[in-house]
């Protein structure tokens, strides 16, 4: 099966270390991410731009001011990702292609 992927979102929300956020708050961001992607039909394999993948990861080695969200392929890192910010990021960054600079703390492009 050949599915096109537009973005992959990795969220450190419920880390076992609990260093960058309270997991009770982090899980709300994760649930919001899941709900938002589903509601906006971004997980549809027929989506022309490709599907949006999401992964809940244990730790992205930042460990402060979380939840931390890393978005590929741009290599954009967001911090303090509350449920409200998650929705904004999905709508602005993922759908409209306009990152929210105010909450970005790092950009890291991988070599090809
Ligand atoms: S615990 Fe979130 S980045 Fe390490």
Taking only the tens place, the pLDDT of each residue in 39-54 is 999 999 999 999 999 9
> Is the C-beta atom of 106 inside 6 A of ligand 1?
no
Instruction: Say yes or no: CB of residue 57 within 6 Å of ligand 1.
Output: no
- Comparing CA positions, the residue from 82, 80, 60, 61 lying closest to residue 70 is 60
For the record, the structure tokens of 42 come out as 């971004």
Report the alpha-carbon distance of residue 12 to residue 98 in Å, rounded: 22
- In a mutational test of the pocket of ligand 1, which residue from 14, 25, 29, 59 has the highest number of ligand atoms less than 8 Å from its CB? 59
Domains identified in the chain and CATH numbers:
5-107 (3.40.30.10)
> Which ligand 1 atom lies nearest to the CA of residue 66?
2
pLDDT value for 1? 65
The region, left, alpha or beta by phi > 0 then psi within -120 to 50, assigned to residue 111 is beta
Q: What is the dihedral angle through the alpha carbons of 110, 100, 57, 80, rounded to the nearest 10 degrees? A: 130
Q: Is the pLDDT of residue 2 over 90?
A: no
Q: Does 36 score more than 80 pLDDT?
A: yes
Torsion sign across C-alpha atoms 66, 91, 77, 17:
positive
């Amino acid at each position: 099966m050949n599915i096109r992927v537009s973005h992959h979102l990795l969220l450190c929300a419920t880390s076992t270390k609990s260093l960058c956020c309270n997991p009770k708050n982090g899980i709300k961001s994760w649930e919001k991410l899941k709900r938002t992607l589903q509601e906006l039909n971004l997980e549809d394999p027929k989506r022309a731009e490709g599907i949006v993948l999401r992964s809940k990861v244990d730790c992205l080695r930042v460990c402060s001011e979380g939840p931390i969200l890393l978005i590929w392929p741009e290599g954009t890192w967001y911090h303090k990702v509350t449920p409200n910010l998650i929705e904004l990021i999905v709508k602005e960054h993922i759908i409209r292609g306009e990152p929210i600079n105010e909450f970005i703390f790092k950009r890291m492009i991988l070599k090809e």
